[in-house]
Chain A
Amino acid sequence: MRVALVGAGAIAREHIKALRNVKGIEIAAIADHLSSLSEVMADEFCIPQHFSDLTEMLASVQPAVLHVTTPVASHFPIAAQALASGCHVLVEKPVTRSTAEFDQLRAIAESSAKLLIENQNYLHGGAVQALLAAVESGEFGDVRHVEVRACMDLTANGSPFADRAFPHPSLREPGGAISDFLPHFAYLCHAFTGPARSVWKRYREIPGSPVPYDEFAADVTGERATASVFFSASIQASLFELRVYCAQAVAEVDLLEPRLSCWRPASGTAGLAPLKASFREAKARIGAGLGGLRTRLRGQYPAMDGMRGLIQKLYASLATGGPPPMSLDDIAACVRLVEEFQPRDGSA
C-alpha cells in the first residue's frame, strides 16, 4: 500500500516515525510547497519521491492514503482534492475549520467510498484506550463527569505561539493559540460524554500577553455525562490530564507521560487503604517514567503514543476491511463541539 504525505513540517516527522512501524505499506512520496523541505525530509527518511506540487504527486504516485500535515487553513482543499482523486485521507486536527467545510468533505468521502480520518491522537493512546475499554465493559459503572485540564506555557520566550515576526497559523483563528488545542478537548470530551447538548465557555485575556487569550474554560452537557475543560496558555508548567468520574471508580490519565491511575472503593482493612493506594500510584508513576524513558530512547515522544495507535488501527482497518478507527459521525460531533468552543462576539 502506497502512502504519501503533504506538508513537511514538525508533525509530518511524527507521522513518518509512526508509519515506519506499520507493516505492508510504503511511504512513497512527500510534498511541500517548498521543494527544499520535501527534499530534505525525503532524504532523511529515505522516501523515494518528493514534490512541490500536490496535484503532480497525486497523479504520479497515486497513493492509497494521503496524510495531510499542512497548516489548518489548507486542510479542507487538500483533503477534498485527495478524496476526489481516490485516496483515503488522514488529516491533522482540526480536520476542517467549520462544520460547513466538514459536511462537504464528508459528502466527497461518502460518494467516493474513502475513509476520512482526523488525527485524534490522544484518544488512541494506550492509557485512554484502556480507560475506554474499562468504561465500555461496565467495570467502572456509568460515566458521570469528565475533566480535561491542560497547561502549556505558550507565552514563553521561544514559543512559536509568541513569535510576533512569524505568527503561528492558529493565531488567525478566533480563539488564537488556544484554538490549536480545542480539537483535543473536543474529542476527549465526546468520547466519554457523547454528543454535546449544551456548552458554556469562557475566555480570559491577560494584559500584555503575546497570545490573544490566556485561559479557556468550558462546561459541556453531553448525552451521557457532563464535562469541564480548563486550559491555561501562560502557567509555566506542562500538564495535560484527563479525569473520568464513574459510578464505581475515578480514573485519571496523564496524556503527556501516558499513565492510567484508578481509584476504587476501598476493600479490606480501611486503615491501610491510603497506603495501598499510595503504593499503587507510585507503581503507576514509576512505570510511566520508565516507559517514557524507553520511548524516548527509541527516538519517539511519549505524548505521540496515541498517534502511533491511531495509525496502526487505520492501516489494520484498511488491510482487513474492518471498521475504521472513528466514524464520520464522531468526527462531525467533534467539529461541532470545536465550533461551540470557539469564542464568538460577546462570548469571550
Chain B
Amino acid sequence: MRPAGRGISAAGWVRLRVFITGASGFLGRATVAAFLGHGHTVRAMVRDSERIPSVWKSNPDIQFYVGDLRRPTGLPEAIAGCDTLVHLAAAVIAPDAAHYAITVGGTENLLRALPGSSVQRLVLAGSMSVYNWSDARGTLTEATPVEERPYVAGAYASAKLWQERILVRAQREHPSWELVILRPGVIWGPGNEGLFMAGLPGNKLHLVIGPSRQMPMTFIDNCAEAFVLAATHAAPPPVVNVLDDDVLTPWRFLGEYQRRRGAGGRRVPVPFLLPWIAAHSATAISRACFGPGGKLPSILMPKRLAIYKPLRFSNALLKSGLGWRQPVDLGTALTRTFGPPVG
C-alpha cells in the first residue's frame, strides 16, 4: 500500500513536479526512472545534452534543462512550476578544488535560484562519508556524529558535509522549505560496481580488508526508491541513511564478482588491524618528519581507512521513517551487475 504523503491528496493521486539535478549521472538516471515509474513528472537537469538517454526524449513526462550548477543560466525559470527539488549533482572523482566548486559552490548557486519558486521540499543526496567513522563504535546510525573537521577524510567527504551544512542553513532561513537528507552508503549497480569497498582489488591479488565485516551498500534501484519516498512521504525524518537489508561481506561480494565475471585473481584476507596499524605508524612518522601538513597515500590515512572498519549498519529508520521496502533482492542485484551465477 502506498504510504500517505505528498503524492496523495484527499481527491486522490497527485503527481509531483520534480526538478532533479545530476539527472544523467549514475544515481540520477535511476532516480529519474523511479519518479517516472511512480507517475510523477520530472524536469531533469543535465550537464551535457549528449548524455540524455534516448528513451527519455520520447517520454512526455520528462523535460530537460541543460546547464552546469557552477555557472547556471536561467535556473529560476527552469525550476519554475516544480514543487520538489531532488539535488543529486556532486563531484565524485575529481581534484580537491573541483569537489568544492561543484558540490558546494553548485549548491549555493542552486539555492540562489529557489526563493520565489514553488519548491516546497528539497531532498539531498548526502553521503555516509560525512560520519566520523574513526570514532564510531558498534552500529553506525543517523545518530552517529559527523566529522567536525572533515578535511582529513578527503575532499569528497568534506564537500558533502559542507553541502549539507549550507542546505540546513538555507532551510533555517526559509522555514517553509522541507529538507530531507538521504545519506546512501556505497551505491552499486551496473556500471558502478563499488569493488573498492571490498579493499584493494587487483589483477592477480585482491586484498580483502576486513573480509567478514558488513559493507554499507545499497543497490542503485533500491537507493532510487528511497528518493521517491523522501519526496512523497508526509512527514519524513530529516536525515536517513540508505542501506539495503542484506548483510554483504567483502569476501562474498568479491567472490560473487569473480565467479559471475569469470575474473581471476586470488582473494587474500587482510584483517583490518593490519592496515590500521600501518596507517597509524605512517601517520606518526609523517608528523615527525613533516609536521601536520604531511600527506600520505589515501590507504595510509587513518580517517580514510576508517571506511573499512568493522562496523554494523542499520536501515531501521529508512524502513520505519520512510516506509521503504527493498525492491530488488541481492541475488537479482548481483545478476544485473555482474551477470548470472556460473556453474
| Interface of A toward B, CB cutoff 8 Å | 8-10, 13, 17, 20, 34-37, 39-41, 44, 158, 160, 164-166, 296-300
**How far does the Cβ of B305 sit from chain A's closest Cβ, in whole Å?**
17
Residues of chain A lying within 8 A (CB to CB) of residue B293: 17, 20, 298-300
**Would you call B286 and A297 a contact (CB within 8 A)?**
yes
> A297 to B290, Cβ gap below 8 A?
yes
- Residues in chain A near residue B66, CB distance under 8 A: 165
* Shortest beta-carbon distance from A129 to chain B in Å: 23
Stretch at the interface among B5-13, B36-44, B103-111, B273-281: B103-111
Whether B95 and A40, one on each chain, are in contact in the complex, defined by CB atoms closer than 8 angstroms, is no
Looking at A34, A36, A39, A165, the one whose CB has the most chain B CB atoms below 10 A away is: A36
Name B104's contact: one of A40, A160, A296 (CB within 8 Å).
A40
With known contacts A9-B97, A40-B162, A166–B70 Cβ distance under 8 A: yes
Chain A residues with CB below 8 A from B246, complex form: none
Complex contact A37–B105 (CB within 8 A): yes
Q: Which of B68, B107, B159, B166 contacts A165 (CB 8 A)?
A: B68
Other than the given A37-B104, A40-B158, 12 more pairs (CB < 8 A) read: A9-B97, A17-B293, A34-B105, A36-B105, A36-B108, A36-B162, A37-B101, A37-B108, A40-B104, A297-B286, A297-B290, A298-B294
* A165 lies within 8 A of B97 (CB): no
Q: Which residues of B contact A297 (CB under 8 A)?
A: 286, 289-290, 294-296
Q: From residue B94, how far is it (CB to closest CB) to chain A in Å?
A: 8
B71 within 8 A of A: yes
| Residues 9-49 of chain B, each 1 if its beta carbon lies under 8 Å from chain A, else 0 | 00000000000000000000000000000000000000110
Report whether B290 and A299 are in contact in the complex, using a CB–CB cutoff of 8 Å: yes
Can you offer 16 A-B residue contacts whose CB atoms are under 8 A? A10-B96, A10-B97, A13-B97, A34-B108, A34-B109, A36-B104, A36-B107, A36-B108, A36-B166, A37-B101, A40-B104, A40-B162, A166-B47, A166-B68, A297-B295, A299-B294
Query: Interface extent on B, as a size class?
Result: 20 to 34
Q: Contact string, B260-301, partner A, CB cutoff 8 A, digits 1/0?
A: 000000000000000000000000001001100111100000
User: Does B295 lie within 8 Å of A298, measured CB to CB?
Assistant: yes
Taken together as a complex, chains A and B put the C-alpha atoms of A9 and B68 apart, in Å, by 17
- Contact code string B92-134 (vs A, CB < 8 Å = 1, else 0): 0011111011001101110000000000000000000000000
Give A17 to B291 CA distance when docked, in angstroms: 13
CA distance A17 to B109 in the complex (A): 28
B91 to chain A, nearest CB (A): 11
Identify the closest chain A residue to B151 (Cβ): A44
Question: CA–CA, A35 to B286, complex, Å?
Answer: 33
- Give the Cβ gap from A208 to chain B, nearest Cβ, in Å: 14
- How far is it, in angstroms, between the C-alpha of A39 and the C-alpha of B107 when the chains are bound? 14
Closest-by-CB residue of B relative to A13 is B97
Which residues from 315 to 337 on chain B have a C-beta closer than 8 Å to any C-beta of chain A? none
Taking a contact as CB atoms under 8 Å apart, the answer to whether B108 and A35 are in contact is: yes
Residues of A near B294 (CB, < 8 A) are: 297-299
Contacts of A39 in B (CB 8 A): 162
Give A8 to B97 CA distance when docked, in angstroms.
8
Instruction: Point out the residue from A20, A37, A165 that lies within 8 Å of B100, measured CB to CB.
Output: A37
| Closest A residue to B102 using CB positions | A166
**How close is A261's CB to chain B, nearest CB, in angstroms?**
27
Interchain CA distance A10-B96 in the complex, whole Å: 8
10 shortest interchain CB distances as A-B pairs: A10-B97, A299-B295, A165-B47, A36-B108, A166-B68, A34-B105, A299-B293, A298-B290, A165-B68, A36-B104
Chain B residues whose CB sits within 8 angstroms of the CB of A8 once the complex forms: 100
